[in-house]
Structure 1
Amino acid sequence: MSDVAISARGLRKVYGDHVALGGIDLEVYAGETFALLGPNGAGKTTATEIFEGYRDRDAGEVRVLGHDPAVDDRGWRDRIGIVLQTSTGLDLLTPREALASTARVYSRPRPVEEVIDAVGLTEKADDRIRNLSGGQRRRLDVALGIIGSPELLFLDEPTTGFDPQARRDFWRLIHSLADDGTTILLTTHYLDEAEHLADRLGVIAAGEIIALDTPEGLGGRGSSAATVSWEEGGERRMVETATPTAVVRDVATRLARPDGEIEGLTITRPSLEDTYLRLVGTAAQTSSTTPSTLAGARA
């Protein structure tokens, strides 16, 4: 189990008549970046908060870095970092002050200036936090999550409020953390972000894990039929096929263009968004009868 950072077996949580988690099984491997996807109310936040030790479970077994998160332990908390959706109570401090204060809690903190630079807050390091924009405060949330050099980092919608360039900068930061061996559990509504960052994805709907695979293989994406489209005789032609190379070769031979080019040629497969929406839509129709399963394999 040393290569498993997070393990859940039969994890269940109920709020009154609402089953938030219906007995899920899940493993996140040490050193991987894992994205947990799902619509609002699906159970991903509940699961994450149980893993973080902020919420009790009703049933099941959970281990995070070999520890039961329901049992508070300062040594265990020293090994994890958490980026919550919002943070409060810091308005009178500057980012530099907040990070320096938080760093003292950890046994092996990263240098404050290094973290400030990594999240792009150098020019705002000595401004009051209450005067920061929403995106700048989100960068500070990320900085507070990584200041302790965590072995395991929880990221809950980390790039909300980021502009496109800031998101790309953040992605580079996450890649650098992953390259250093940090295990990352990410929840996000940005599917391009999940596809770019994650080694594996889990999709949760109605409290059940409905799919678990790599971004390329999720929901059979890798083996799905491709759509080949091109211009011919002033019309747009389109073929759905499992052998797109053969179709392109046939079209090229038939058109017999001297330069070998096919006008307007595109080859597309279902996007991650297409696949995600199909999985969630199917789950919504069958949620009353679909059991919780652990699908897929380690990437």
Structure 2
Amino acid sequence: MANVQTLDPTASPLAYYGFELRRHREAHGLKQGQLGEIIYCTGSLVGQIETARKVPTRDFSERVDAALGTDGLFSRLVGLVLRSQLPTWFQPYAEMEAKATYISTYQAQVVYGLLQTEEYARAVLATGMPDDLDGLVAARMERQRILEREQPPLTWVVLDEAVLLRPIGGRDVMRRQLGNLLDFTRNRWMHIQVLPNVVGEHASLAGSFNVLRFDDDPDIVYTEDVIAGHMTASPETVREAALRYARLQAAALSVEDSAALIARVMEERYGDRSQSEERTVA
């Protein structure tokens, strides 16, 4: 068990957060339980966060700022904490993703991370049997904040139809996930296309990939294997990825037809079976 007296604030963003939380709480003359009552949580949770045994959420941080009058300190720190929960090999990509002005991605297995619901993300991340699933889920949700900006990156997503049909997390989770995709299709900066199975062989049978574009930096291509992720700004690789992506877009359904397919799969495959059975009997 971590000892709060010897917690090293330089050890990690999580340790620094815990150190500062304890310092500000004690400066206000509050015990852990008292602060917990003010921000509607247990004193035990406050203690776990102060000793870097629990990852704080953004909601927790905003409540602490309001309770202790810390002028957004913990709301700012939590972003660093949550990014630090990402796998070490993934953190460089997440930093570049947050700076991108244009994101294009082809996903063959799962919904793109920025578009995942929390419960879908939890089901996906649990397959890796991580030590801290809650921390990974919170970090993935934090990544999505780039889509909430006043000027979010223009994002173009091509999903293999198999992504819609793979029941990750079960029927209810998938129904809400597909509903979330439909919500995104209403945003003018988000374009979602589905590559139908009838296409057969296509330009990226080798797997998923992302291309990031920036205002002032070279484009980056990102791929993953079962162990780690790989980024490159090689002009030859970027050109090849752009060509393959253009072919994928051309082979995929239109944005409008893709939305219609998502809606149809959501209802026919993941809809309320009892209602479907009632309609059949009627």
Structure-1-length-normalised TM-score? 0.25
Q: Report which of the two has the higher share of helix.
A: 2
Structure-2-length-normalised TM-score? 0.26
